[in-house]
Amino acid sequence: MIDAAIILLKEHFSALDGSRAQPSLKHLLLAIVLVTLWGVICGADTWLEIENYGIAKQEGLETFLELPQGIPSCPL
């Protein structure tokens, strides 16, 4: 069930336009969006809390997300 939900989320958000500012290019847009989404669902209210969520869950997230540069850091 969870695998099917992850596949649907990845398919849905993979259609996003990936053009963005040069510094952001070290992380895949899909990874940024999904870590942000799951962080907010789990109660994160700020970018720093989203980053902390990603760091805490990185091992699990890496089983289904490409995170070649690790968890995206707080943009501020």
DSSP the chain: -HHHHHHHHHHHHTTS-----GGGGGS-HHHHHHHHHHHHHTT--SHHHHHHHHHHTHHHHTTTS--TT-SPPP--
Q: What integer pLDDT is reported at residue 28 of this predicted model?
A: 81
Q: pLDDT tens, 18-73?
A: 666 665 577 888 888 899 999 999 999 999 999 999 999 999 999 988 898 899 88
Residue 32 structure tokens: 């940024």
CB 54 within 8 A of CB 72: yes
CA angle, 29 then 6 then 31, to 5°: 15
